[in-house]
Structure 1
Amino acid sequence: MSTAELAPYFHPTQIVLVDDDIDFLGNLSLQLEADLPYLLFDSTTKALGYINDRQIDGRSRERFFRVCEGEGGQRVSLDTDAIAREMHYSNRFSQISVAMVDYAMPQMNGLDFCRRIQNPHIKKILFTGVASEKAAIDAFNDGVIDRYIRKSEHLVYDHLNSTIRELQQAHIRETFSHASDVFHVAAPSWLEDRHVIALMENLRRRYHIVEYYLVSDPAGFMLVDGEGNLYRLMLITPEERDAQIALMRRAGAPRDCLKALERGEVLIAPSVAQLVAAGESDILRHWSRYSRPSTALNSHRYAFWALFDQRDMPGAPSPPDATFSRYLDWLDTVGYSLM
Structure 2
Amino acid sequence: MNDTRLAPYFHPTQIVLVDDDIDFLGNLSLQLEADLPYLLFDSTHKALGYINDRESEAPSRQRFFRFDNGGSALSGGGGERKVSLDTDAITREMYFTNRFSQISIAMVDYAMPQMNGLEFCRQIRNPHIKKILFTGVATEVEAVEAFNKGVIDRFIRKSERNVYEQLNQTIRELQHAHILDTFSAATDVFDVRVPDLLRDPAVETLLKNLRARYDFVEYYMTDDPAGFLLVDGDGELYRLVLVDADQQQRLIEQVEASGAPQECLKLLSTGDNLLDPAMLNGAQNVTSDPYRQWKSHIRVATRLEGKRSYRWAVFEAGLPDSDVTAPNSTFNRYLEWLDTVGYSLM
TM-score computed with the length of structure 1 as normaliser: 0.91
Query: Are 1:308 and 2:315 matched, yes or no?
Result: yes
Q: Give the Cα–Cα distance (whole angstroms) in 1 for the partners of residues 277 and 228 of structure 2.
A: 12
Return the offset for 1:79: 1.3
Q: Give the Cα–Cα distance (whole angstroms) in 2 for the partners of residues 248 and 69 of structure 1.
A: 28
Q: Give the Cα–Cα distance (whole angstroms) in 1 for the partners of residues 60 and 23 of structure 2.
A: 38
Q: 1:288 to 1:18 in 2, by over 3 A?
A: same
**Contact 1:251 1:281 (8 Å CA) reproduced:** no
Alignment deviations for residues 177-205 of structure 1 (CA, whole Å, 9 cap, x no partner): 21232322101112121221121111111
Range with greater deviation from structure 2 (255-264 or 266-275)? 255-264
Return the offset for 1:324: 0.3
**Contact 1:98 1:168 (8 Å CA) reproduced:** yes
Q: Which residue of 1 aligns with 2:342?
A: 335
**Contact 1:296 1:303 (8 Å CA) reproduced:** yes
RMSD: 2.4
Alignment deviations for residues 12-48 of structure 1 (CA, whole Å, 9 cap, x no partner): 0000001111111111111111111001111212212
SS in 1 for 2:138: coil
Q: Give the Cα–Cα distance (whole angstroms) in 2 for the partners of residues 155 and 176 of structure 1.
A: 32
SS in 1 for 2:150: coil
**Contact 1:269 1:313 (8 Å CA) reproduced:** no
Q: Which residue of 2 aligns with 1:51?
A: 51
Q: Give the Cα–Cα distance (whole angstroms) in 1 for the partners of residues 4 and 61 of structure 2.
A: 22
Q: Which residue of 2 aligns with 1:218?
A: 225
Q: Give the Cα–Cα distance (whole angstroms) in 2 for the partners of residues 135 and 280 of structure 1.
A: 66
Q: Give the Cα–Cα distance (whole angstroms) in 1 for the partners of residues 341 and 3 of structure 2.
A: 34
Amino acid at match of 2:34: A
Q: 1:260 to 1:313 in 2, by over 3 A?
A: farther
Q: Which residue of 2 aligns with 1:269?
A: 276
**What does 1:26-65 correspond to in 2, within 5 Å?**
26-65=26-65
TM-score computed with the length of structure 2 as normaliser: 0.90
**Contact 1:290 1:313 (8 Å CA) reproduced:** no
Range with greater deviation from structure 2 (224-233 or 302-311)? 302-311
Return the offset for 1:152: 1.1
SS in 2 for 1:297: strand
SS in 2 for 1:56: helix
Return the offset for 1:281: 5.5
Identity within the alignment, %: 61
Q: Give the Cα–Cα distance (whole angstroms) in 2 for the partners of residues 60 and 205 of structure 1.
A: 30
SS in 1 for 2:305: coil
Q: Give the Cα–Cα distance (whole angstroms) in 2 for the partners of residues 260 and 252 of structure 1.
A: 15
Q: Which residue of 1 aligns with 2:194?
A: 187
Alignment deviations for residues 192-224 of structure 1 (CA, whole Å, 9 cap, x no partner): 212211211111111111000111111111110
**What does 1:1-339 correspond to in 2, within 5 Å?**
5-69=5-69, 73-276=80-283, 282=287, 284-285=290-291, 286-312=293-319, 314-339=321-346
Range with greater deviation from structure 2 (229-238 or 319-328)? 229-238
Q: Which runs of 5+ in 1 are unaligned?
A: none
